[in-house]
Amino acid sequence: MSNQRSAIVIGGGIIGLCSAYYLVQSGWKVTIIDKGNLADNCSSGNAGMIVPSHFIPLAAPGMVAKGIRWMFNSKSPFYVKPSFDPKLISWGLQFIKHANDAQVNKVAPALRDLHLLSKQLYTELAANPELNFGFEDKGILMLYKTEKAGVEEIHVAQKAQQLGLDVEVLNHEQVQRLEPHTHLNVKGAVHYRCDAHIYPNALVKQLTAYLKAQGVDIKTNCTVNSFGTNGGQIQSIETSSGTFNADLTIMTGGAWLPELAQKAGMKIPVMPGKGYSFMVDNTANKIIHPSLLLEARVAITPMNGQVRIGGTMEIGAINSKINMNRVQGIVNAVPNYYPEHQVKLPEVNDVWYGFRPCSPDGLPYIGFSQKWSNLIVAGGHGMMGLGLGPATGKLVAELADSSSLSTDIKDYNPNRFN
């Protein structure tokens, strides 16, 4: 099989792993190169939510005003670190330009379709006997305490119903019936029954093992230094572990995507959005459904016999500092909604953090580069990387094969900010 087509996937996060998975299924010989060791990519600590409910991008009306208001509160859920960094300023101006109703309404159907495709693919992956990553299809509860948050969320729920999603608005008693083991201090909730959740750590480990068993070569601690190009194509990738060649290159790279793109002479704006999470026991007053605490913007997910609690979106340069004030903000939110869960502030070493790759318009980048005809870009998924991993991976393989696409990707053009 010497004429087997070869692909190099740069980045071993969930998007890279899913791209490799579907490329292998389609008969490609795949090599993954990652600058880390794959153990601690952004998806390992995330809330594990598969979210057709997230058809509104981060760049949404009201986010700019909230962001400005929250900038002065060190425990707030969304924070843009003030800086004169030209990258941040340019990103911020694009964000403001896209945060309007017309844009959100235009992209909502496409985002819904991308999420629904991913949910369907997760259902198929969960049926693979070699993968067991705690897939549970019981929806997500959007819990609210105030009239104002309730009105806003019910408005979103009506939009979701118009888009054909399975959604139900619940009063306090109805929500409480869904959580019989623990008391809820909320006005009501919206139950997105179309959503699901998984245990991401298991998925990342098992996908990696599965790919290795399928003959995928995974090079860890391997940094891309430069690209050798010729005739409008990428001919070679120069790395800290030598030179790699392939017929096709897939550039993922998460929050590091802009630097990678720059090495290939392209401009793909992404700002890292730092988030934190930690695990607590789920034995007493057991929580059954994953939830988003709306006013606090905190995610609660039962997984692997415990509960993962996560939150905050801190836009700024990549750094390894854990801001315990932000973690305290997450901790304080939980008993306001679940009074029997008096969560303790975790030790610094028990706090996980990762960088979500946020595009300025809140939409991912999926498609061929217009500069290099054998380069596919797949990244910038923000908080939805895990949820959209399989859909993106499947689309990458379809693009690679020049076959018809499972869903329309015109809104995700990676060249849109050039």
List pLDDT tens digits, range 109-141.
999 999 999 999 999 999 999 899 999 999 999
Geometric angle at alpha carbon 379, from 89 and 301, rounded to 5°: 100
Contact 197, 301 (CB under 8 A): yes
**Mean pLDDT of the chain, nearest integer:** 94
Q: What is the mean pLDDT of residues 141-165?
A: 96
Question: 155 in a domain, yes or no?
Answer: yes
Q: What is the mean pLDDT of residues 209-217?
A: 96
- Read off the tokens for 21: 């998975």
CA–CA separation, 415 and 418 (whole Å): 6
**Could you tell me which residues come within 8 angstroms of residue 155 by beta carbon, excluding any fewer than 6 positions away?**
none
The whole-number pLDDT of residue 1 equals 44
**Could you tell me which residues come within 8 angstroms of residue 119 by beta carbon, excluding any fewer than 6 positions away?**
50, 52, 194, 195, 196
Number of domains in the chain: 1
Question: 13 in a domain, yes or no?
Answer: no
Question: 188 in a domain, yes or no?
Answer: yes
pLDDT in tens, 183-199: 999 999 999 999 999 99
CB atoms within 10 A of CB 397: 25
CA–CA separation, 90 and 103 (whole Å): 19
Residue 53: CA count within 13 A, CB half-sphere: 26
* Virtual torsion, Cα 150, 334, 139, 146, nearest 10 deg: 0
pLDDT at 174 over 70: yes
Grouping H, G, I as helix, E, B as strand and the rest as coil, residue 394 is helix
Q: Which domain holds residue 300?
A: 54-85+135-195+270-358
Tell me phi and psi for residue 298, to 5 degrees: -115, 140
Beta strand pairing call for 365-368 and 375-379:
antiparallel
Give CA separation, 300 vs 129, 157, 177, 274, 396, in Å. Answer: 28, 20, 18, 17, 31
What CATH number should be reported for the domain holding residue 187?
3.30.9.10
Residue (of 270, 245, 248) closest to 260 by Cα position: 270
Question: 176 in a domain, yes or no?
Answer: yes
Residue (of 206, 191, 271) closest to 44 by Cα position: 206
Question: 348 in a domain, yes or no?
Answer: yes
State what percent of residues in the chain have pLDDT above 70: 99
The whole-number pLDDT of residue 43 equals 67
pLDDT top residue among 321 and 406:
406
pTM reported for the whole predicted model: 0.95
Mean pLDDT lowest for which of 34-48, 151-165, 389-403?
34-48
Q: What confidence tier does 42 reach under pLDDT thresholds 50, 70, 90?
A: low
State what percent of residues in the chain have pLDDT above 90: 84
Question: 126 in a domain, yes or no?
Answer: no
Question: 392 in a domain, yes or no?
Answer: no
The whole-number pLDDT of residue 41 equals 67
The whole-number pLDDT of residue 69 equals 78
Q: What confidence tier does 2 reach under pLDDT thresholds 50, 70, 90?
A: low
Question: 24 in a domain, yes or no?
Answer: no
